Amino acid sequence: MPALAPLWKGLRITEHLLTGATLALVVTIGQGLGYRIGWLDAVVCWWYRRLLRCLRVRVRADGAVAGTPLLVANHVSWLDIPVIGAQGSVRFLSKAEVRAWPLIGWMSELAGTVFIARGAHRVGEVVEGIYARIQAGQPVAIFPEGTTSDGREVLRFHPRLFAVCQQTGLAVQPVALHYGGGPEPDPVAPFLGDDTLVAHLWRVLRHPGIEVRVSFLAPIPAADLDRRRLADETRRAIAARLVMDRGGAAGQPGRPACDRVSSPPHVVVQPGDAR
């Protein structure tokens, strides 16, 4: 009954969001009572993986998070967040507006999201927030394009946030995201322009199944590279990998990195933060 498939997936998503809200409430109460929630990272990773299953998004993963770097990915959709988040314990950089979103903002904050206010000259504070999480063994992922693309090209990377690597000597690990099972990008996956989350989610629910390949590439040392060059080198590495993926590289399905990432646990913007 193909016509009922989107409705069934919609019911599953609703139940999954309610499950997330219940877990978030437990975490909030526990933290309020002074308890350390040691299982939070594992639950966040599980939540992302289950969300992808509910949406019928099939992930092929190459590589894994290398130590505790700054993860830098190309940006196609709000789906980028669960796709990367399902691979390990990663924190994301998100626009400040997400914090005010019902349910999603609350869950994002509990998951350790770093929020950035657009138009405000507070990059220094954001860099400090990113560095603090990385120092605590929590890799942070950013999308330096500042917006989404249709997956056919990688837009210019804004270099400001790469300052965290210059100041601390952290490595940058490029992450390439390619949606589609063949050389052409999937036309439904991109979240572009004035699209709304609800409208895009409905298209995803009607999709028979989205395939995405996430590739964790070799880290790039920050030594002797200024922010602009570091951003350009990272962008080139991601673009080269996407060219290879579009050329028909088959790849093998990867199991979730929650099961394979080394210690400390590694947990890039919360669901819906596509811009």
Q: What average pLDDT score do residues 233-250 get? A: 84
Report yes or no: 175 and 231 within 8 Å, Cβ to Cβ.
Answer: no
Instruction: Judge whether residue 247 has pLDDT over 80.
Output: no
Q: What average pLDDT score do residues 85-104 get? A: 82
Q: What average pLDDT score do residues 153-169 get? A: 85
Choose among 113, 219, 131, 114: nearest CA to 175: 219
Single-letter residue type at 235 = R
pLDDT band at 251 (very low <50, low <70, confident <90, very high): very low
pLDDT digits (tens, 9 = 90+) for 29-82: 998 888 888 898 899 999 999 999 999 999 999 999 887 779 999 999 999 999
Ranked by mean pLDDT, which of 129-138, 188-197, 234-243, 245-254 comes out on top? 234-243
Q: Is 93 helix (H, G, I), strand (E, B) or coil?
A: strand
Sign of CA dihedral 105, 269, 70, 61: positive
Q: What average pLDDT score do residues 82-100 get? A: 86
Strand-pairing partners, residue 177, are 214
pLDDT band at 2 (very low <50, low <70, confident <90, very high): low
Q: Tell me which of 3 and 109 has the higher pLDDT.
A: 109
The per-residue pLDDT for 165 is 84
Q: What average pLDDT score do residues 204-211 get? A: 93
Instruction: Judge whether residue 144 has pLDDT over 80.
Output: yes
Report yes or no: 28 and 70 within 8 Å, Cβ to Cβ.
Answer: no
The per-residue pLDDT for 207 is 93
Q: How far apart are CA 237 and CA 258, in angstroms?
A: 25
pLDDT above 70 covers what percent of the chain?
Answer: 87
Domain extent listing, the chain: 2-259
Sign of CA dihedral 178, 202, 102, 192: positive
The per-residue pLDDT for 130 is 86
Q: What average pLDDT score do residues 185-211 get? A: 91
> pTM for this one?
0.84
The DSSP line for 208-221 is: S-EEEEEEE---B-
